[in-house]
Structure 1
Amino acid sequence: MQDAVALAREEITAFLGPEGAVVTCGATAMGEAVEKTLAKAPCSQWVEEARSSQRWRAALS
């Protein structure tokens, strides 16, 4: 999953816009890898804003 996110992270955050939310579920390692990949510049600000406004949620095991 993180490979797909890496290929399109700028498009993903542009699509989600300022009100979009992300929910990751499944394996902890995969969820953390998706978050780390999406949080790379230039998308890091979007991820930080999503975290602080509770638009970033995870249900990992």
Structure 2
Amino acid sequence: MFAGIGYGLIGFFVSYVLSVKIGIGVAGISIGLSIGTTVYATLLMHFHLLADRLAFRSRWHS
């Protein structure tokens, strides 16, 4: 799910806009996919921290 959001929705869209609409070319594809990778990593880190926080709470409240 996070990969679909990071790469599919954001990375490919930004790549298309930068490479075709703005006219950067291959560099636009690389920049767009890098942005998608950054979004994907940020979503994974956020999910990991949230899961750790919930696991910590469940250990102390049970």
Q: Name the structure, 1 or 2, with higher relative contact order (CA <8 Å, separation 6+).
A: 1
> Shorter chain as normaliser: what TM range?
under 0.3
Report the TM-score when normalising by structure 2: 0.27
Higher strand share: 1
Report the TM-score when normalising by structure 1: 0.27
Larger Rg: 2
